[in-house]
Amino acid sequence: MDANNALKLGRLFRVPYGGEGVDFVDQLNYQFTSGIIVLFIVMIGFRQYVGKPLHCWVPQEFTSSWEDYAENICWVQNTYFLLPNEAIPEDDFEMLRVRHISYYQWVAIILAGQAMMAWVPHVLWRVWSKRVPVLLKNAREAAVPDKEVRHKAISCLVAALEEISEASKRYRRTRGIFQRCLGGPPPTTRITLLFLIVRIFFIANNIGQIYVMKHFIGTNDTLFGLHVFQELLIGSEWEVSGLFPRVTYCDVKVRKLGQLKPAS
């Protein structure tokens, strides 16, 4: 990565995409979160789709083509994790009791979905709050020392406020509950409602992604991420905890002299 690309990537975390009306909490929810996720997608996707996603320890009689075949099969189908004191299952009934690892293949895709979902509340805010950035920008520029810029900002600010005032008058002149329901809430409360709805969407998105990861990992523990962090702090090894294991098992059936024999 050259200096120009690094500079462009760094702007992702400095520029408040969305302009006026976006605070740090908004940036943290959609900009910083999605930016970090994109970095993880690049690192993981490069290993999975460009390099070799896994390496198998195969019997000595396996040729290189057999080894490639076994690695492809094990990557497509699920592998399983065993503790050091557990024996390799010998039949289908014992296979039902082992812990299958089925999420490594889909990490990049799930992260991409999470990054897109992080932007949904902000996109709603950008689409429906068209006047807010203009009002905030003009209000900020109305306090600058430059007379020409200040005069232009005040004129734009007055025009925008007059437009909102006229919309409020038209709404008050509307008669009938049905017509008012079709017209939506009053113009003076639309931004407030939109602000609250977007915040609710941000919270719902964060909570929903916790349950998505819970289902994706295949655990019943809602605080799974916190427990993983605690295991890292106390120095627990993955061989004992089984959290994101780096070594798993996979069964590949091999034909030898007309007989079908498993090779683990």
Parse the chain into domains and list their residue ranges: 19-238
Residue reference for tokens 């600010």? 157
**109-114, Cβ contacts within 8 angstroms, sequence gap of 24 or more:** 110/212, 110/213, 110/216, 111/37, 111/40, 111/41, 111/44, 112/37, 112/41, 114/37, 114/209, 114/212
Q: How far apart are CA 54 and CA 48, in angstroms?
A: 8
Give me 18's structure tokens: 């969305």
Give SS3 for 190: helix
Q: What is the mean pLDDT of residues 80-102?
A: 80
Confidence bin at 13 (pLDDT 50/70/90): very low
Q: Give the start-end residues of each E strand in the chain.
A: 79-81, 99-101, 252-256, 259-263
Residue 237, token pair as written in the block: 């090894």
d(CA 171, CA 187): 8
What does the pLDDT look like over 185-220, one tens digit per residue?
A: 666 677 778 888 888 998 998 888 888 888 888 777
**257 has pLDDT over 80:** no
The Cα–Cα gap between 151 and 158 comes to 11
- Residue 16 has a pLDDT of 47
Residue 69 has pLDDT above 50, yes or no: yes
Mean pLDDT of the chain: 75
CA 241 to chain centre: 26
DSSP 3-state assignment of 94? Answer: helix
Residue 245, C-beta contacts closer than 8 angstroms, at least 6 positions apart: 81, 101, 238, 239
Helices (H) and strands (E) in the chain, counts: 12, 4
Q: How many CA within 13 A on the CB side of residue 192?
A: 5
Predicted local confidence at residue 140, as pLDDT: 64
Neighbours of 34 (CB within 10 A): 22
17-53 confidence digits (pLDDT tens): 445 556 777 788 888 888 899 999 988 888 888 878 8
Residues ≥6 apart with Cβ < 8 Å to 49? 108
Q: Are strands 252-256 and 259-263 parallel, antiparallel or unpaired?
A: antiparallel
Q: Determine the residue type at 37.
A: I
Can you tell me the distance from the alpha carbon of 32 to that of 44, in angstroms, rounded to the nearest whole number?
Answer: 18
- Is pTM beyond 0.85 here? no
pLDDT band at 12 (very low <50, low <70, confident <90, very high): very low
